[in-house]
Amino acid sequence: MEKMPRWADVALIPILNLIIAFALSALVILAIGEDPVAAVKMMVTGALGSTYGWGYTLYYTTNFIFTGLAVSIAFQAAMFNIGGEGQAAMGGLGVALVCLYIPFPHWALALVFAMAGGALFGAFWAAIPAYLQAKRGSHIVITTIMFNFIAASLLNYLLVNVLRPQGSMDPASARFPEPTRLPTFQDMFSTAENVMFRGTPANVTFFIALLACVGVYFLMWRSRLGYEIRAFGKNPAASIYAGISPFKLTMIAMLISGGLSGMMSINNTMGESERLIMNSVEGAGFIGIAVALMGRNHPFGVLLAAFLFGFLYQGGGELALWTKIPRELITVIQAFVIMFTGALDNMVRMPVERMFIRAAKRREG
Amino acid sequence: MNVENTQGQPETVAPAIELRGISKAFGPVQANKDISIRVMPGTIHGIIGENGAGKSTLMSILYGFYKADAGTILINGQETQIPDSQAAIAAGIGMVFQHFKLVENFSVLENVVLGAEEGEMLRPSLAKARKLLKELADEYELHVDPDKLVEDLGVGMQQRVEILKALYRQADILILDEPTGVLTPAEADHLFRILEGLRAQGKTIILITHKLREIMEITDTVSVMRRGEMTATVKTKDTNVEELAELMVGRKVLLRVDKKPATPGDTVLEVKDLRMVDDHGVERLKGIDLHVKAGEILGIAGVSGNGQSELLKVLGGFANGTGEIRINDDPIDLTGKHSDGRSRRERGISHVPEDRQHLGLIMDFTAWENLAFGYHHAPEYQKNKLLMDNAGMIETAQGEMDRFDVRPPNPMLSAKNFSGGNQQKIVLAREIERNPDLLLVGQPTRGVDIGAIEFIHQRIIDLRDQGKAILLVSVELEEILSMSDRIAVMFDGHIMGERLPAETDEKELGLLMAGVTDTKGAA
């Protein structure tokens, strides 16, 4: 036995990581003179205690599912796509153009076209760094980071100079026409006497995100392309021996990754703000990296991790709103979670692994 | 002090380097076994042996990269601990690696000084180095423009910078690891002149190589390593190429291979004037002509590094070449869009690569995923247009593992959890079960236990008896002799000659492998 059982890898270690992160967060909360137990209660009730809380939690979760899946696919091909932020922003542009300039009779049709528009623009934004990596060897981490800035500047320019309706002081596009409005959870689940998810942004995109998880699962573990992506990511030299083109694989993996990031914008741009605004992605692209790391690059893991971060976002927001705990501290808690589940994963993994191996050796005598 | 050395001559000086009983194991692999060697000062001492014989490990111990499990190191008669390369440098040892360790966008001068700067300011060190560099250049024909960037220099020049680096650190003992591997013959000759100059100044040089010609040309003493052991140390003038070849390749009990005489049919593979230049611009194949018929095994013998790997790569479709390759009299694409592993497989060429862990398998993939690897486009693996038939693939894999006696026969296990022999059986099963017209096999039994060797050999012979063409590349002469129906010997990118196994022996092949064509006269 050379390694620990699978359940420890996929469940025990993430849970241990989380416990450490929360324990440290509790210490920080204690240090500023607040009550950590009350804070946890507040976060749980705020995020999951009402349909209102759920409406926000699931909205954030939807964003993180898309960006998490995007990062995970690039990871499987041994590429670190840090450009989710820019790809999602460009996806927003694609969605906005579709919604603003194509007249739709029904939201469902608009959704299909907006998905295509968002994915196309996101994929395009990933394609350039992918090409530079595959042909010129420019490191994808550097180029995707830089493309985040280019995307932000480009959108800035477009919103101020091109898409801003005449006379508006707000650097944002015009409101999308009514037929493109996606049904929110409130529309879908409320009854005449009982309004649920009141005023929350969670919308039908959540189900698209769930479908995307299933789709990515089949793509990566059931299709030939996924087989090639995983093979290429694990052993590029052997892949060339097998006749897999590194150029083609790099491009395809990054196009899918960028496309998924871009599709996030049907949630925030089409579903929530209903117009294209500045900085619409709000860091979801970066959270996607933590989500993919914590989710072990598996769609199901990504779903769970995205939900955890959705909870942290919404619960943290509530905490800032109702207690004296400052908003910055919420960022600290999120940072702890990212740090322990992502960057410092090996710190917990190594001793636990050694423990399992020792135990196995003892059993063998 | 008067001590008798191994050659029975009186000796008044202590050896520059003496190793006593050095052993080093990596896991179950014994890389060095009880090695003792004395290198006299002011001599060039060659160490030869095939790849994997343990030469590099031994030198890494001497240079402080590895710690020996047992044994002592004496420098100039003093027992010395070498825990790291700093200690080696302090002891006067300089190393020129096969892969240079230079900062490409630094100038020659900066590279030489790097790590040996004196004081806080760089300028005095650079001025001092410039002066010293000029002296060294005049003394040893080591001319390099000190202000040129290393990335603008050719390979031979870069190697000189490495030598200068060592000399700048006042190395008295210089170790060169396969120094001519990347050089043209003219550059190699120049290097030898430099080494002779260094020897004349009293420096001690250890030359690691697998090229016999170099040993004969330049060394004073030569030590032969084989399978982690030092098998002999002799004066170069008292030996000859044949003897060294034999010592290097060694003799062991011939593995018995049961095979009927071959009944060759039509020509399956025909190669004409095949050439290949590697990424460093070095020509690795210099006009190869060969053919393999249906129902025969052509064995390619040769010391590794003489172009066999490149031949397999070009034939297998993952390196470009020029010339002509025909399969069943149909030319195949050597550089274009259809020159990749997949197109080759579609043309009926299967390939068991030399390095199964690096090329043949994906260690993190399960056995069933590996058993489809490269053939994953095959229609029988597809469930429908979109998805692969995972369940079917597992079932197919189970059958293949049973037929090839892969242990444990569990398709869900990762490749890395199988032993070397069983990993090789997985690769072999995958390639043979495809029923190819031509099977390329590189080092089929490297790192494989005896039991599996027989099994693997038998499977290859069975395939031959089904009328398939087989090209076998191996550095194990006895494997070549017992398996092949014809033997071609490769040396320095050329085919030196072809022999029938019944009409040749290890001695003659060894000479051909050393680049000697006139085997009748020499033998």
The CATH number of whichever domain residue B446 belongs to comes to: 3.40.50.300
* B381, B413, B434 - which closes a domain: B434
Helix extents (H) in chain A: 6-7, 13-31, 36-48, 51-76, 84-101, 107-131, 140-157, 185-189, 205-222, 224-234, 236-241, 246-263, 265, 284-294, 299-322, 327-338, 345-364
Distance, in Å, from the CA atom of A233 to the CA atom of A79, rounded to the nearest integer, reads 8
Q: How far B355 CA lies from chain A's nearest CA (Å)?
A: 10
Give the closest of B358, B386, B388 to A237, CB-based: B358
CB contact (8 A) between residue A243 and residue B342: yes
The residue among A286 and B523 whose pLDDT is bigger is A286
Q: Does A137 touch chain B (CB under 8 A)?
A: no
CB contact (8 A) between residue B344 and residue A243: yes
Res B245 pLDDT > 80: no
From chain B, the residues in CB contact with A248 under 8 A are none
Helix (H, G, I), strand (E, B) or coil at B260: coil
Q: Does residue B249 belong to any structural domain of this protein?
A: no
Q: How far A218 CA lies from chain B's nearest CA (Å)?
A: 8
Which secondary structure element, helix H or strand E, spans residue B456, and what is its range? helix B450-465
DSSP letters for A156-205: HHIIIIIISPTT--SSSPPPPPGGGPPPBHHHHH--SS---STT---BTH
Q: Does residue A343 belong to any structural domain of this protein?
A: no
Copy the structure tokens of residue B474: 């191996």
Q: What is the pLDDT of residue A365?
A: 58
Evaluate whether B257 touches B461 at the Cβ level (below 8 Å). Answer: yes
Give the closest of B317, B358, B365 to A243, CB-based: B317
- Split into its structural domains, chain B has a count of 4
Chain B contacts to A (CB-CB under 8 A): 316-318, 340-345, 351, 353, 358-365, 369, 372-374, 376-377, 382, 386-388, 390, 417
From chain B, the residues in CB contact with A234 under 8 A are 362-365
Same domain, B103 and B141: yes
Same domain, B189 and B322: no
Give the closest of B316, B363, B387 to A218, CB-based: B387
Q: Does residue B202 belong to any structural domain of this protein?
A: yes
Q: What is the pLDDT of residue A329?
A: 82
CB contact (8 A) between residue A238 and residue B386: no
Distance, in Å, from the CA atom of B162 to the CA atom of B173, rounded to the nearest integer, reads 14
CB atoms < 10 A from the CB of B266, how many?
Answer: 11
Q: What is the pLDDT of residue B251?
A: 54
| Domain of B210, in residue numbers | 1-92+172-239
Q: Does residue A357 belong to any structural domain of this protein?
A: no
From chain A, the residues in CB contact with B390 under 8 A are 221-222
Q: What is the pLDDT of residue B363?
A: 93
Q: Does A230 touch chain B (CB under 8 A)?
A: yes
Same domain, B288 and B407: no
| Domain of A165, in residue numbers | 61-295
Q: What is the pLDDT of residue A270?
A: 96
CB contact (8 A) between residue B376 and residue A227: yes
Q: Does residue A37 belong to any structural domain of this protein?
A: no
Copy the structure tokens of residue B173: 């003992």
The residues with which A240 forms a beta bridge, in sequence order, are none
Rounded to an integer, the average pLDDT of B270-276 is: 96
Evaluate whether A226 touches A31 at the Cβ level (below 8 Å). Answer: no
Rounded to an integer, the average pLDDT of B175-191 is: 80
Give the closest of A230, A235, A241 to B341, CB-based: A241
Strand B204-209 relative to strand B173-177: parallel, antiparallel, unpaired?
A: parallel
Task: List, for residues B336-379, the tens digit of each pLDDT value.
Answer: 888 899 999 999 999 999 988 889 999 999 999 999 999 999 99
Q: List phi, psi (to 5°) of B222.
A: -135, 135
Evaluate whether B386 touches B392 at the Cβ level (below 8 Å). Answer: no
Distance, in Å, from the CA atom of A253 to the CA atom of A231, rounded to the nearest integer, reads 12
In Å, how far are B131, B162, B171 from B142, measured between CA atoms? 14, 11, 15
Residues 242-271 of A with CB under 8 A from B: 242-245
Copy the structure tokens of residue B53: 């014989």
Distance, in Å, from the CA atom of A164 to the CA atom of B297, rounded to the nearest integer, reads 75
Q: How far A238 CA lies from chain B's nearest CA (Å)?
A: 4
Same domain, B109 and B157: yes
- Stated length of chain A: 365
Q: What is the pLDDT of residue A360?
A: 77
Q: How far B414 CA lies from chain A's nearest CA (Å)?
A: 12
* B400, B434, B468 - which closes a domain: B434
Task: List, for residues B439-481, the tens digit of each pLDDT value.
Answer: 999 999 877 766 688 889 999 999 999 999 999 998 878 789 8
Same domain, B341 and B450: yes
Residue with tokens 């000479």: B511
CA B156: distance to chain centroid?
20
Model ipTM over 0.85: yes
CB contact (8 A) between residue B369 and residue A227: yes
* B151, B170, B189 - which closes a domain: B170
Computed over every residue of chain B, the mean pLDDT equals: 87
Q: What is the pLDDT of residue B233?
A: 92
Q: Does A193 touch chain B (CB under 8 A)?
A: no
**Which chain B residue's Cα is nearest to A231?**
B362
| % of chain B surpassing 70 pLDDT | 93
Distance, in Å, from the CA atom of B157 to the CA atom of B150, rounded to the nearest integer, reads 9
- Classify burial at A149, counting beta carbons within 10 Å of its beta carbon; exposed 0-12, middle 13-18, buried 19 or more: exposed
From chain B, the residues in CB contact with A225 under 8 A are none
From chain A, the residues in CB contact with B341 under 8 A are 240-244
From chain A, the residues in CB contact with B353 under 8 A are 241
Same domain, B370 and B416: yes
Q: Does residue B252 belong to any structural domain of this protein?
A: no
Q: Does A2 touch chain B (CB under 8 A)?
A: yes
Q: How far A216 CA lies from chain B's nearest CA (Å)?
A: 12
Task: List, for residues A183-217, the tens digit of each pLDDT value.
Answer: 999 999 998 888 999 999 999 999 999 999 999 99
The residue among B97 and A291 whose pLDDT is bigger is A291
**What order of strands is seen across the sheet that includes strand B330-331?**
B283-293, B267-277, B322-327, B330-331
Q: List phi, psi (to 5°) of B334.
A: -100, -20
Distance, in Å, from the CA atom of B351 to the CA atom of B441, rounded to the nearest integer, reads 6
CB contact (8 A) between residue B376 and residue A228: yes
From chain B, the residues in CB contact with A231 under 8 A are 362, 365, 369, 373
Evaluate whether B71 touches B79 at the Cβ level (below 8 Å). Answer: no
Same domain, B87 and B178: yes
Q: Does residue A361 belong to any structural domain of this protein?
A: no
Size of interface A-B (CB pairs under 8 A): 68
CB contact (8 A) between residue A241 and residue B353: yes
Same domain, B423 and B472: no
**Which chain A residue's Cα is nearest to B391?**
A222
In Å, how far are B401, B409, B490 from B395, measured between CA atoms? 10, 12, 41
Q: For residue A33, is it left (φ>0), alpha (ψ between -120 and 50) or beta?
A: left
Q: Does residue B248 belong to any structural domain of this protein?
A: no
Distance, in Å, from the CA atom of B148 to the CA atom of B114, rounded to the nearest integer, reads 15
Helix (H, G, I), strand (E, B) or coil at B297: strand
CB contact (8 A) between residue A227 and residue B388: yes
- Split into its structural domains, chain A has a count of 1
Q: Does residue A282 belong to any structural domain of this protein?
A: yes
Distance, in Å, from the CA atom of B279 to the CA atom of B293, rounded to the nearest integer, reads 32
DSSP letters for A108-163: HHHHHHHHHHHHHHHHHHHHHHHHIIIII---HHHHHHHHHHHHHHHHHHIIIIII
From chain A, the residues in CB contact with B351 under 8 A are 241
Same domain, B274 and B412: no
Same domain, B376 and B487: no
Q: Does residue A166 belong to any structural domain of this protein?
A: yes
From chain A, the residues in CB contact with B413 under 8 A are none
Q: What is the pLDDT of residue B522?
A: 42
In Å, how far are B36, B151, B203, B501 from B92, measured between CA atoms? 20, 28, 10, 49
Task: List, for residues B317-330, the tens digit of each pLDDT value.
Answer: 989 999 999 999 99
Same domain, B59 and B24: yes
**Which chain A residue's Cα is nearest to B374?**
A242
Evaluate whether B360 touches B352 at the Cβ level (below 8 Å). Answer: yes
In Å, how far are A73, A137, B379 from B385, measured between CA atoms? 21, 33, 10
Task: List, for residues B53-96, the tens digit of each pLDDT value.
Answer: 788 889 889 998 888 999 999 999 899 999 988 899 999 999 99
Q: Does residue A349 belong to any structural domain of this protein?
A: no
CB contact (8 A) between residue B374 and residue A243: yes
Distance, in Å, from the CA atom of B354 to the CA atom of B472, rounded to the nearest integer, reads 10
Residues of chain A with pLDDT under 50: 1
Same domain, B112 and B72: no
CB atoms < 10 A from the CB of B122, how many?
Answer: 12
Q: Does residue A147 belong to any structural domain of this protein?
A: yes
Q: Does A234 touch chain B (CB under 8 A)?
A: yes
CB contact (8 A) between residue B360 and residue A228: no
In Å, how far are B30, B46, B54, B247 from B224, measured between CA atoms? 17, 8, 10, 7
Evaluate whether B374 touches A243 at the Cβ level (below 8 Å). Answer: yes
Q: How far B365 CA lies from chain A's nearest CA (Å)?
A: 8
Residue among A163, A113, A107 at smallest CA distance from A275: A163
Quote the strand ranges of B132-188, DSSP E. Answer: 173-177
Q: What is the pLDDT of residue A97?
A: 96
Residue among A60, A108, A48 at smallest CA distance from A268: A60
In Å, how far are A124, B321, B358, B392, B417 from B364, measured between CA atoms? 32, 31, 12, 20, 9
Q: What is the pLDDT of residue A192?
A: 85
Question: Cα torsion at B410, B414, B415, B418 (round to 10°)?
Answer: -60
Count of CA atoms in the C-beta half-sphere (13 A) of B148 = 11
- Which one of B373, B381, B427 would you mutate to disrupt binding with A, by most A Cβ within 10 Å of its Cβ? B373
